[in-house]
Amino acid sequence: MNPAWRKQRLVEYADGELSPGERAEVEAYLRDHPADRSVVERWQALRQSARRVLDAEPVPVGLAERVRARVAVARCRHSGRWYRLGASGLAAAAVLVFAVLMWPRGAQATSIQVSGFAAVHRRCALEQQHDALGVRRGARGASVRQLQAVEPLARQLPDLTAVGYQLESVCRCGPAECRGCGARVLHACFRRSDDQDVVVSAFVVDRSVQLCAADGSHCSQCQRGRRCFRCGTDGDITVVGWNEGRISYLLAARMQRQELTRLAEKLHVGEVWPEE
Amino acid sequence: MGGASENSFEALALPHLEFIYRIARRLTRDHHDAEDLVQETYLKAYAAFGRFEMRQFGVRPWLLRILNNTFLNRQQRQQRAPRSADQQALDEIHADDSDATPPELDFEHLDGEVKAAIESLSPEFRSVLLLWATMEFSYKEIAEILDLPVGTVMSRLHRARKQLTAALAAYAREQGIRGVDAEP
């Protein structure tokens, strides 16, 4: 074997890329060349080590259930859509009329489950204080205004500091369905100054979203002041959402629905994007 | 797309969830991002399930392909994509043509160093190396999953292993392990 060909052959042998005949040929060669056998063994050991690293990765508890739930919602929507489309042209026309009436601006709302926002609130705000934008690390006591310098979407963030909360952490985590439709999400965690146990997550999504329950049905709706809120619960967490212009705002917290809606009603949001 | 039958999406795709998550975790290097990526992958896979032909591809490679495309799309959206790995490889190919043989080390106790070395790879190299590391796929299958020519897979794999080897050799030198620089 010439050196270059030999080296390539040994790598392919270690990777299991050779035919049985070629393998036998290399194995015969290796019997007489212990140094090269050692090279092959090291390639294989490296691969096995890489595999051990991969296999050792712990999988989050409940991941399968969360994925199963999302697929169930997708199936529900899928079936509903085909039922409507397949039933008759009239049904399609009804959907079209409904869409025109509900979204006169032409914006299409994406349905997102309450549990998606609640899960991010639990994970990033309550359990881990996920702070990808370094609010705690770099700018202690940072205000929403300071945050705007590093994240343009923060201009839209409801400023809970004006109603007695402190900004604790900020990340870009959101429900997978938001990512799935290409939406950008900003998630900020606020803690009440006079009661450290009260934590509120504020989400900003750069498009219209509509909260829905786990079975895909719409969440309850209520009008308060100039805002129309949709509310839902997931376990002990309440999520309230509303749309302004092309932006969606959501709050999540361990609060009663009425209390969270009252808080949402008071909030000022930044520059509202112009309507299409 | 029935719910309970053995050919349903759940029955075919969910058994691969842990494997897909582990690949996603190493690709993204963040467990939040990994879970989001996995959920997005499964939703896309569900949406495309009607067009899926198992005899053509197999469930796991199909899921991996969706995972990889979703990962790349996210990177592009976040405008964090590094310059092309092929360009990197071309840049380096003349500068460094040394052997990529791993040093003589006790690999049983080097998983931490191997993990750090894998994470330091650029995404293009990392994805090839992770699929190779599963010991399930041939070069051709990796090429199909990543939608790359086989030659590119081999080239990226060579580069990835070389970087791993260099990292481990550096570690061995730090530890004063003999024979690291010896050419076998």
The pLDDT tens digits of the residues spanning A53-93 come to 888 888 988 888 888 888 887 776 655 555 555 555 555 55
Instruction: Tell me whether residues B102 and A55 touch, CB distance under 8 A.
Output: no
What 3-state class would DSSP assign to A104? coil
Alpha helices, DSSP H only, in A103-175? 114-120, 135-138, 144-147
Helix (H) and strand (E) counts in chain B: 10, 0
Chain A touched by B74 (CB under 8 Å): yes
The CATH number that applies at residue B41 is 1.10.1740.10
Task: Based on the fold, state whether residues B79 and B153 are members of the same structural domain.
Answer: no
Which residues of chain A make contact with B67, given a CB cutoff of 8 A?
none
- Of A13-22, A202-211, B82-91, B113-122, the least confident: B82-91
Domain-ending residue, one of B59, B83, B100: B100
Instruction: Tell me whether residues B133 and A42 touch, CB distance under 8 A.
Output: no
Query: Which residue among B14, B104, B108 sits closest to A42, beta carbon to beta carbon?
Result: B104
Task: Based on the fold, state whether residues B78 and B21 are members of the same structural domain.
Answer: yes
In whole angstroms, what is the distance from residue B6 CA to residue B25 CA?
28
The CATH number that applies at residue B134 is 1.10.10.10
CB pairs under 8 A between A and B: 131
**Residue B85 clears pLDDT 60, i.e. is over it:** no
**Cβ-based neighbours of A55, under 8 Å, separated by 6 or more:** B22
**Residue B73 clears pLDDT 70, i.e. is over it:** yes
C-beta of residue A84 within 8 angstroms of C-beta of residue A92: yes
Instruction: Tell me whether residues A54 and B39 touch, CB distance under 8 A.
Output: no
From the number of C-beta atoms within 10 Å of its C-beta (0-12, 13-18, 19+), residue A269 rates as middle
Query: Which residue among B103, B108, B133 sits closest to A54, beta carbon to beta carbon?
Result: B133
Share of chain B above pLDDT 70, in %: 77
Task: Report residue A81 as tokens.
Answer: 């859509």
Task: Based on the fold, state whether residues B83 and B114 are members of the same structural domain.
Answer: no
C-beta of residue A123 within 8 angstroms of C-beta of residue A157: no
Instruction: Tell me whether residues B10 and A63 touch, CB distance under 8 A.
Output: no
Q: pLDDT class for B184, splitting at 50, 70, 90?
A: very low
Which residues of chain A make contact with B138, given a CB cutoff of 8 A?
15-17
* Predicted pLDDT of residue A103: 47
Chain A touched by B9 (CB under 8 Å): yes
Which residues of chain A make contact with B110, given a CB cutoff of 8 A?
49
Q: Answer yes or no: is B1 within a domain.
A: no
**Residue B168 clears pLDDT 70, i.e. is over it:** yes
Q: Answer yes or no: is B30 within a domain.
A: yes
Alpha helices, DSSP H only, in A88-207? 89-102, 114-120, 135-138, 144-147, 176-180
Task: Based on the fold, state whether residues B96 and B13 are members of the same structural domain.
Answer: yes
Choose, out of B71, B101, B171, the residue to mutate when testing the contact with A (most A CBs < 10 Å): B101
**Residue B10 clears pLDDT 90, i.e. is over it:** no
Between positions 100 and 159 of B, the ones with CB within 8 A of A are 101-104, 107-108, 110-111, 114-115, 118, 129-130, 132-135, 138-139, 158
Share of chain B above pLDDT 90, in %: 38
Q: Which residue of A has its CA nearest to B19?
A: A55
Task: Based on the fold, state whether residues B85 and B13 are members of the same structural domain.
Answer: yes
Single-letter amino acid, residue A198: V
Q: Answer yes or no: is B55 within a domain.
A: yes
Angle at A220 between CA A67 and CA A88, to 5 degrees: 75
Domain-ending residue, one of B40, B75, B100: B100
Q: Answer yes or no: is B3 within a domain.
A: no
Which residues of chain A make contact with B43, given a CB cutoff of 8 A?
70-71, 74, 176-177, 180
B136/chain A closest Cα distance in angstroms: 10
What 3-state class would DSSP assign to A202? strand
Task: Based on the fold, state whether residues B21 and B63 are members of the same structural domain.
Answer: yes
Domain with B180, as residue range(s), is 105-184
Domain-ending residue, one of B85, B100, B115: B100
* Predicted pLDDT of residue B93: 45
Task: Based on the fold, state whether residues B88 and B131 are members of the same structural domain.
Answer: no
For residue A148, give the nearest of A136, A156, A137, A138 by alpha carbon.
A156
Torsion angle in degrees (nearest 10) through CA of B171, B173, B177, B180: 100
For residue A67, give the nearest of A173, A174, A175, A172 by alpha carbon.
A175
A205/chain B closest Cα distance in angstroms: 15
Task: Based on the fold, state whether residues B52 and B128 are members of the same structural domain.
Answer: no
| Spans of chain A, pLDDT less than 50 | 103-107, 140, 272-276
Q: Answer yes or no: is B2 within a domain.
A: no
Which domains, and CATH codes, for chain A?
3-102 (no CATH), 110-266 (3.40.1000)
Instruction: Tell me whether residues A46 and B43 touch, CB distance under 8 A.
Output: no
Q: Answer yes or no: is B132 within a domain.
A: yes
Q: Answer yes or no: is B175 within a domain.
A: yes
Q: Which residue of B has its CA nearest to A10?
A: B101
* Predicted pLDDT of residue A134: 76
Task: Based on the fold, state whether residues B120 and B176 are members of the same structural domain.
Answer: yes
- Of A178-182, B36-40, B44-48, the least confident: A178-182
In whole angstroms, what is the distance from residue A82 CA to residue B14 CA?
24
Chain A touched by B29 (CB under 8 Å): no
Instruction: Tell me whether residues B132 and A50 touch, CB distance under 8 A.
Output: yes
How many structural domains compose chain B?
Answer: 2
Instruction: Tell me whether residues A63 and B101 touch, CB distance under 8 A.
Output: no
**Residue B30 clears pLDDT 80, i.e. is over it:** yes
C-beta of residue A257 within 8 angstroms of C-beta of residue A233: yes
Q: Which residue of A has its CA nearest to B35?
A: A63
* Predicted pLDDT of residue B154: 92
Choose, out of A8, A9, A19, A46, the residue to mutate when testing the contact with B (most B CBs < 10 Å): A46
Task: Based on the fold, state whether residues B95 and B119 are members of the same structural domain.
Answer: no
Task: Based on the fold, state whether residues B96 and B164 are members of the same structural domain.
Answer: no
Task: Report residue B122 as tokens.
Answer: 């650029």
In whole angstroms, what is the distance from residue A206 CA to residue A46 CA?
45
* Predicted pLDDT of residue A202: 94
Query: Which residue among A11, A49, A182 sits closest to B77, beta carbon to beta carbon?
Result: A182
Task: Based on the fold, state whether residues B72 and B140 are members of the same structural domain.
Answer: no
Q: Which residue of A has its CA nearest to B108?
A: A49
C-beta of residue B125 within 8 angstroms of C-beta of residue B85: yes
